[in-house]
Structure 1
């Protein structure tokens, strides 16, 4: 992969190029960038578990092909789903699969409205040397528009060096814990569900 471009526009282009390289004709978990269907599922389970998901209005920020929608629907809880993504190809794929409420999120814009739950799965894949903590402002906005909880997953700084890519973001769980504690006294972190401790999920609760 080429060196990632920096800033919101650059990150969007890097993400689009990454997914284009994976192709859109195979399994949707592969198009979304996960290593397997099982690894996608355990991340979705970690998100809903950490958020205490009990049904309601959901914003899937970075919805990709819409796999989270089908995961939530299978839980048979009340669901009003909204999905946004920076990548037009992903929005088209999700729409073609019958995922409701999906739209393109313009680069450098953030979602509006109010949602019981805001989920961000795979959104923070790439690093940005010009704005290394960009993910904190995104999380704070997600918390501001959530009514019950926001939950996001991250590649962990504890991931073994041999399993890292040079352009990806590996977040320090301790940084996220301090950030969470500054926003709310109700938060959870789960660093136990992924092999080798390579991934973690954090939720900020209302």
Structure 2
């Protein structure tokens, strides 16, 4: 049986370690793939600057990506792993905290990589998280997922491979303004969903 998601996340990061390039610490395959996902979040949310919640902030790389846009930014981040929060703080990332239940209201809520693992006890857990993110967003939510269209040879046991059709139905039930981008990643192995207010 798969471990609970928080345990799987911590075990994954334990295996990676907390030294070296932060894209590797966060579990991305390369700096270029991390940047492609961040670009997809920003582009698909029609990001124009403002208050941002980075849900699952890890070492805070999205903060630097957003800062480099030169748009107004008031950033806060939350992560399940206090070690990630400590790493982000050591890099000068502002407004980060440990936990799994963000509050407040934010213009944008971004979630990059937080839906990596499946949860056999709650296979559609990510929909509840997206709805919570939508509730606290003032303008848009954007999140990326490993795709169910990913080739079998590029899959790992215990990871969540979300079906874009499921996300399409969910998005359409929540808002009449949404988009799915399935074009930015090699082999269609990843996609981003954006939900607008």
Q: If the TM-score is normalised by the length of the shorter chain, which range does it land in?
A: over 0.9
- Alignment match of 2:126 (pick from 135, 142, 155): 135
TM-superposition CA deviations, 1:104-142 (whole Å, max 9, x none): 01xxx5211100000000000000111000000000000
Provide the residue aligned with 2:165 in structure 1: 174
Residue ranges of structure 2 left out of the alignment (5+ in a row): none
Provide the residue aligned with 2:12 in structure 1: 18
Rounded Cα–Cα distance in structure 1 between residues aligned with 2:109 and 2:166? 20
Return the offset for 1:4: 3.0
- Alignment match of 2:50 (pick from 48, 56, 61): 56
Residue ranges of structure 1 left out of the alignment (5+ in a row): none
| TM-score relative to the length of structure 2 | 0.99
Rounded Cα–Cα distance in structure 1 between residues aligned with 2:158 and 2:171? 25
TM-superposition CA deviations, 1:153-190 (whole Å, max 9, x none): 00000000010011000000000000000000000110
For the aligned residue pairs, the C-alpha RMSD in angstroms reads 0.7
- Alignment match of 1:125 (pick from 113, 116, 122): 116
| TM-score relative to the length of structure 1 | 0.94
TM-superposition CA deviations, 1:59-110 (whole Å, max 9, x none): 00000000000000000000000000000110110010000000001xxx52
The count of aligned residue pairs is 197
Assess if the C-alpha contact under 8 Å between 2:44 and 2:181 holds in 1: yes
Return the offset for 1:36: 0.2
Provide the residue aligned with 2:185 in structure 1: 194
